[in-house]
């Protein structure tokens, strides 16, 4: 396989269509595919936390607090829980319950759905399940926007928030949600918090542990198979969850292949170059190109 070395300058980024063909060939030859997805995949799907999307839904907060983007606003210590949940209910609603602006996840699912596959992701926006990935084939390591937990936490359980989030969005007035919608722990009555891995309070509930175990079992069961590790949009913020383990697995098992698609950040260590394909391009463009290629997905079956 050809290697595209890490290039920071845009002039070094290749737009070679052969790479996409190589990727298709690798998919076709693989017995199993493990997708490892990071924030860059959701950005490619249009979940952007800045610009017009941020201004459209958070104009009042921008005026009042001068927030620069959706993500950093989420850390603001609002004086009341009623205001906190106005911000967070909109945040969750548009990033978890609304459809993705671009069909990137659906195109990705079309590529893998006929294969033996598993998905590990640091994304919390539920896009894989919305696209059709079965829960049993998915390990969401960092939580889910659709889940709450006790903020202390006094017990390791998560709670679905969809119904309350919809009501919060609908019933909020003058930057307050009705007090009766503010969620409290059913056991210790502390305020509920998001089930997102931001600090040591993150709850790994039974579902999380089962998913983790299924991922480990999947790796064990496929040690002798030709496995394609497909890394999409993982940056260097938390490389220890997907990126570095994928590199180690590729080095350990000769039958494993590593494909990384990430504009400006696709790179592999030298020891695994002969088993790696790094595509320094926008993920949405690459997936779009494959879905346009006649029979591109047909031949993968
Ligand atoms: Zn509690």
Query: 60 alpha carbon to ligand 1 midpoint, in Å?
Result: 32
Asked if the model's pLDDT at residue 5 lies above 50, the reply is no
Beta strands 227-232; 138-140: pairing state: unpaired
Give the list of residues 6+ apart from residue 270 with CB closer than 8 angstroms, or none.
Answer: none
Query: 149 alpha carbon to ligand 1 midpoint, in Å?
Result: 8
Asked if the model's pLDDT at residue 125 lies above 90, the reply is yes
- DSSP lists the bridge partners of residue 139 as 120
Instruction: Please tell me the distance from the alpha carbon of residue 256 to that of residue 35, in angstroms, as a whole number.
Output: 13
Query: 158 alpha carbon to ligand 1 midpoint, in Å?
Result: 11
| Confidence at residue 295, expressed as pLDDT on a 0 to 100 scale | 53
The full set of domains in the chain, from first to last, is 3-44+102-142+205-300 (3.40.50.1220), 51-99+144-196 (3.30.1600)
What sign does the dihedral 61-127-161-215 (CA atoms) show? negative
| Confidence at residue 240, expressed as pLDDT on a 0 to 100 scale | 94
> Which residues sit in the known binding site for Zn(2+)?
150, 154, 185, 188
Asked if the model's pLDDT at residue 221 lies above 50, the reply is yes
Query: 260 alpha carbon to ligand 1 midpoint, in Å?
Result: 41
Query: 110 alpha carbon to ligand 1 midpoint, in Å?
Result: 41
Query: Which own/partner contact pairs does 62-70 have at CB distance under 8 Å and 24+ positions apart?
Result: 64/175, 70/95
What is the token pair recorded at 44? Answer: 């490619």
Asked if the model's pLDDT at residue 9 lies above 80, the reply is no
Query: 153 alpha carbon to ligand 1 midpoint, in Å?
Result: 5
> Per-residue pLDDT tens for 138-160?
999 999 999 999 999 999 999 99
Instruction: Please tell me the distance from the alpha carbon of residue 132 to that of residue 128, in angstroms, as a whole number.
Output: 6
Asked if the model's pLDDT at residue 2 lies above 90, the reply is no
> Per-residue pLDDT tens for 51-96?
999 999 999 999 999 999 999 999 999 999 999 999 999 999 999 9
> Per-residue pLDDT tens for 285-297?
999 998 877 454 5
CA 248 from centroid of its chain's CA atoms: 21
> Which residues sit in the known binding site?
150, 154, 185, 188
Q: Under a CB-based contact definition with an 8 Å cutoff, are residues 124 and 142 in contact?
A: yes
Instruction: Please tell me the least confidently modeled range out of 3-7, 107-111, 115-119.
Output: 3-7
Query: 207 alpha carbon to ligand 1 midpoint, in Å?
Result: 18
Query: 210 alpha carbon to ligand 1 midpoint, in Å?
Result: 22
Query: 195 alpha carbon to ligand 1 midpoint, in Å?
Result: 13
What is the token pair recorded at 115? Answer: 């294969």
What is the token pair recorded at 124? Answer: 């919390």
Mean pLDDT of 182-197: 98
Q: Under a CB-based contact definition with an 8 Å cutoff, are residues 19 and 287 in contact?
A: no
Instruction: Please tell me the distance from the alpha carbon of residue 253 to that of residue 31, in angstroms, as a whole number.
Output: 14
| HEC secondary structure over the chain | CCCCCCCCCHHHCCCCHHHHHHHHHHHHHCCEEEEEECHHHHHHCCCCCCHHHHHHHHHHHHHHHCCCCHHHHCCCCCCCHHHHHHHHHHHHHHHHHCCCCCCHHHHHHHHHCCCEEEEEECCCCCHHHHHCCCHHHEEECCEEEEEEEECCCCCCCCEECHHHHHHHHHHCECCECCHHHCCECCCCCCEEEEEECCCCCCCCCHHHHHHHHHHHHHHHHCCCCCEEEEEECCCCCCCCCCHHHHHHHHHHCCCEEEEEECCCCCCCCHHHHHHEEEECCCHHHHHHHHHHCCCCCHHHC
Q: Under a CB-based contact definition with an 8 Å cutoff, are residues 234 and 263 in contact?
A: no
Give the confidence band of 282 by pLDDT, cuts at 50, 70, 90.
very high
Instruction: Please tell me the distance from the alpha carbon of residue 215 to that of residue 218, in angstroms, as a whole number.
Output: 5
Q: Under a CB-based contact definition with an 8 Å cutoff, are residues 233 and 38 in contact?
A: yes
Beta strands 32-37; 116-121: pairing state: parallel
């Amino acid at each position: 396989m050809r290697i595209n070395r890490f290039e920071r300058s845009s002039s070094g980024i290749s737009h070679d269509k052969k790479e996409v063909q190589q990727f298709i060939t690798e998919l076709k030859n693989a017995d199993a595919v493990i997708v490892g997805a990071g924030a860059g995949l959701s950005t490619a799907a249009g979940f952007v936390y800045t610009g017009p999307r941020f201004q459209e839904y958070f104009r009042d907060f921008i005026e009042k607090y001068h927030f620069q983007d959706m993500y950093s606003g989420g850390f603001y210590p609002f004086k009341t829980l009623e205001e906190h949940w106005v911000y967070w209910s909109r945040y969750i609603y548009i990033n978890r319950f609304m459809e993705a602006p671009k069909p990137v996840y659906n195109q990705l699912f079309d590529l893998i759905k006929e294969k033996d596959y598993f998905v590990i992701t640091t994304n919390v926006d539920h896009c894989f399940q919305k696209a059709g990935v079965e829960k049993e084939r998915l390990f969401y390591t960092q939580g889910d926007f659709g889940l709450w937990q006790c903020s202390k936490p006094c017990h390791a359980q998560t709670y679905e928030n969809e119904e309350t989030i919809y009501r919060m969005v609908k019933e909020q007035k003058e930057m307050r949600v009705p007090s009766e919608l503010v969620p409290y722990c059913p056991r210790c009555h502390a305020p509920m918090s998001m089930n997102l891995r931001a600090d040591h309070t993150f709850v790994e509930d039974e579902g999380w542990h089962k998913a983790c175990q299924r991922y480990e079992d999947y790796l064990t069961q496929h040690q002798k198979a030709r496995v394609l590790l497909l890394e999409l949009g993982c940056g260097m913020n938390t490389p220890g969850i997907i990126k570095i383990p994928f590199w180690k697995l590729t080095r350990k098992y000769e039958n494993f292949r590593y494909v990384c698609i990430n504009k400006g950040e696709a790179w592999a260590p030298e020891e695994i170059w002969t088993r790696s394909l790094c595509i320094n391009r926008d993920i949405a463009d690459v997936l779009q190109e494959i879905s346009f290629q006649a029979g591109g997905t047909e031949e993968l079956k």
